[in-house]
C-alpha cells in the first residue's frame, strides 16, 4: 500500500513504524499516569460492583441523590481549581502554596454552607435525610479538607512530578476502596458508605498537602505571596473557570436531580449505575490531562492531529465495540439482574463520553492560549441544549431520553469548541 498526495509513494511499513514510535513515545511519557488511572478505574468499578450488590438500586439511588446534591456546590465553586493555581505559577519566584491552600479553605467553607440548603428542597423527604443527618456534618467537613488536593495537584504538575501525582491519586483510591468495602461488609447501610467516603476525603486531602509541601520546599523562591496578592493574580482566571464549571454542573448533576423528581429512587440508582459504567472513559482523560498541561507549561508543542488519529480514535472505537457486544455481560458482572435496564442508557451515554474523549484536549489548548472564554461559551451551549431537551426526552423515553439529552449536549459542545480551535489556534482540521 502507498500514501498518495505528492506523487511520491511511501511504503506502508515505515509508516507503521512511525506510528509505533509515536505511540511508544507517548506511552513512555505517560506510563505512570496510565498505570495509576488503570488501577483507579479498576478499583472504582470493583467498589461500585460491591456497593450496588450489597445495597441494591434503592439505597444506591439515595446515596446518588445525596452525593450529587453536595457535589453540585463543591464542583461549581472549586472543581478544576488546580488550573487556577497552575496559571498563578506564572508569577516568577513567588511561593503561592499557603495562600492557595487558604483560598481552597475559604471556598470550601462557603460551599459547605450552601449544602445545608438541602433542607429547603423536596429531596429531604425523598431520601429521608433525617435518618443519616448526623453524618452530614462529618461528610461536609471532610469534603472541605479534600479541596486542598487541587492546590497539591497544581504544584506537582508545575514541577513535573507526574509520577508522584499518579501514585498519590492511586493511593487515595486504594484507601477509599478498602474503607468503603470494609464498612459496607460490616453493615451495608447508607451511613457506613458516607463514613467511608468522609474518611477518604480527610486522609487524601491531608496526604496531598504533605506531599506538595515536601515538593515545594525543594524549590527556592525569592518572595512569599500573600492571600491578597494571590487573589489579584488568579481572580480573572478563577471567575472564568467558575462560570465554566457552574454552567457545566447543570447537565452533569441535574440529570440525576431531575430524574429523582419525575421518577422513583430505583430509577435514579439504575441511571447512575449506567453512568458509572461509562465513567472509566474519563480516566483516560485524567491520565492525559496532566501530561498535556505539563507540555504546555514547559512550552513543548503537541501534534494533536497525530494524537487523535493514531491514539484516541482507535481506542474509542475499541471501547464502543466492547460496550455494544459485552455491555450486558458487564452489567451482570459489575451489578446484578436488577440493573439490566441500564444497558441502553449505557450505550447512549458512551457515545457522548467517547466523543468527549476524542476532543477533551481542546479545553487545555484554549486554557493555555488564554481563550478559555470560548470553552465557557461551549458550556452555555451544552447547558442550553440539555435544559431544552432533557425534560421532553425523559418524558418520552425515560432513562434513554435523559441519556440521549446528555450525550447530545456533550457532542454539540465539543463540535463548537473544535470549530474555535480550528479557526483561532490552528487553522487546520484533524479530520
- Please give the Cα distance from 243 to 317 (Å, whole number): 33
Q: How far apart are CA 20 and CA 24, in angstroms?
A: 6
Q: Which helix (H) or strand (E) holds 382?
A: helix 372-397
Average pLDDT over all residues of the chain: 87
CA atoms within 13 A on the CB side of 222: 3
pLDDT tens profile 222-234: 667 888 888 988 8
Closest residue by Cα to residue 298 from 95, 148, 414, 162: 162
Look at the chain and count its residues.
Answer: 431
pLDDT per residue as tens digits for the range 202-251 = 999 999 999 999 998 887 666 678 888 889 888 888 988 888 888 877 67
What radius of gyration do the chain's Cα atoms show?
22
Residue 365 lies in a domain: yes
Cα(276)–Cα(426) distance, rounded to whole angstroms? Answer: 35
pLDDT at position 8 is 39
Q: What kind and span of H or E run contains 224?
A: strand 223-224
How many structural domains does the chain have?
A: 1
**Does residue 1 sit within a domain?**
no
Q: 402 and 258 in contact (C-beta within 8 Å)?
A: yes
- Predicted confidence at residue 149, as pLDDT, reads 95
Provide the pLDDT for residue 223: 64
Q: Is 2 inside any structural domain?
A: no
Host domain of residue 75: 14-424
Query: Which residues contact residue 190 at a Cβ distance below 8 angstroms, ignoring those fewer than 6 apart?
Result: 55, 59, 62, 63, 66, 131, 132
Residue pair 250/383 in contact by the 8 Å Cβ criterion: yes
73, 360 Cβ separation under 8 angstroms: no
Domain annotation covers residue 431? no
Query: What is this structure's pTM?
Result: 0.80
Give residue for cell 493555581: 85
430 part of a folded domain: no
Residues 52, 273: contact at Cβ < 8 Å?
yes
Alpha helices in 116-161 (DSSP H): 123-127, 134-146, 148-158
Q: Given this model, what pLDDT does residue 120 score?
A: 83
358 or 3, higher pLDDT: 358
Q: What is the DSSP string of 246-281?
A: HHHHHHHHHHHHHHHHHS-HHHHHHHHHHHHHHTHH
Distance (Å, rounded) from C-alpha 204 to C-alpha 186? 23
Residue-wise pLDDT tens digits, 339-369: 999 999 999 999 999 999 999 999 999 988 8
Residue 191 contacts residue 64 (beta carbons within 8 Å): no
Amino acid at each position: 500500500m502507498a500514501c498518495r498526495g505528492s506523487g511520491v509513494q511511501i511504503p506502508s511499513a515505515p509508516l507503521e513504524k512511525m506510528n509505533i514510535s509515536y505511540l511508544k513515545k507517548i506511552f513512555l511519557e505517560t506510563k505512570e499516569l496510565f498505570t495509576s488511572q488503570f488501577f483507579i478505574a479498576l478499583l472504582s468499578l470493583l467498589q461500585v460492583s460491591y456497593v450496588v450488590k450489597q445495597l441494591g438500586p434503592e439505597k444506591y439511588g439515595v446515596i446518588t441523590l445525596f452525593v450529587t446534591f453536595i457535589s453540585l456546590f463543591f464542583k461549581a465553586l472549586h472543581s478544576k481549581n488546580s488550573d487556577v493555581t497552575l496559571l498563578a505559577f506564572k508569577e516568577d519566584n513567588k511561593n503561592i502554596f499557603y495562600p492557595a491552600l487558604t483560598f481552597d479553605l475559604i471556598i470550601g467553607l462557603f460551599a459547605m454552607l450552601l449544602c445545608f440548603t438541602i433542607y429547603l428542597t423536596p429531596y429531604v423527604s425523598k431520601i429521608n435525610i433525617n435518618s443519616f443527618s448526623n453524618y452530614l456534618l462529618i461528610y461536609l467537613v471532610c469534603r472541605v479538607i479534600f479541596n486542598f488536593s487541587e492546590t497539591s495537584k497544581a504544584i506537582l504538575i508545575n514541577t513535573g512530578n507526574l509520577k508522584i501525582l499518579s501514585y498519590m491519586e492511586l493511593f487515595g483510591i486504594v484507601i477509599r476502596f478498602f474503607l468503603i468495602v470494609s464498612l459496607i461488609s460490616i453493615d451495608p447501610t447508607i451511613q457506613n458508605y458516607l463514613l467511608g467516603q468522609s474518611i477518604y476525603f480527610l486522609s487524601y486531602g491531608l496526604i496531598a498537602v504533605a506531599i506538595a509541601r515536601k515538593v515545594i520546599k525543594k524549590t527556592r523562591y525569592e518572595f512569599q505571596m500573600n492571600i491578597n496578592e494571590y487573589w489579584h493574580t488568579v481572580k480573572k482566571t478563577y471567575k472564568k473557570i467558575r462560570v465554566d464549571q457552574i454552567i457545566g454542573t447543570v447537565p452533569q448533576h441535574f440529570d440525576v436531580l431531575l430524574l429523582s423528581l419525575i421518577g422513583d429512587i430505583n430509577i435514579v440508582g439504575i441511571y447512575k449505575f449506567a453512568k458509572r459504567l461509562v465513567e472509566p472513559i474519563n480516566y483516560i482523560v485524567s491520565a492525559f490531562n496532566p501530561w498535556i498541561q505539563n507540555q504546555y507549561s514547559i512550552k513543548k508543542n503537541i501534534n494533536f492531529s497525530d494524537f487523535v488519529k493514531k491514539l484516541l480514535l482507535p481506542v474509542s472505537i475499541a471501547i464502543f465495540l466492547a460496550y455494544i457486544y459485552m455491555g450486558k455481560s458487564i452489567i451482570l458482572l459489575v451489578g446484578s439482574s436488577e440493573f439490566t435496564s441500564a444497558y441502553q442508557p449505557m450505550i447512549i451515554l458512551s457515545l457522548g463520553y467517547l466523543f468527549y474523549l476524542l476532543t477533551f484536549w481542546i479545553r487545555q489548548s484554549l486554557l493555555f492560549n488564554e481563550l478559555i472564554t470560548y470553552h465557557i461559551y461551549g458550556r452555555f451551549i451544552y447547558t442550553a441544549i440539555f435544559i431544552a431537551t432533557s425534560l421532553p426526552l425523559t418524558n418520552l423515553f425515560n432513562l434513554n431520553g435523559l441519556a440521549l439529552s446528555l450525550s447530545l449536549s456533550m457532542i454539540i459542545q465539543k463540535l463548537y469548541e473544535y470549530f474555535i480551535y480550528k479557526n483561532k489556534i490552528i487553522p487546520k482540521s484533524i479530520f
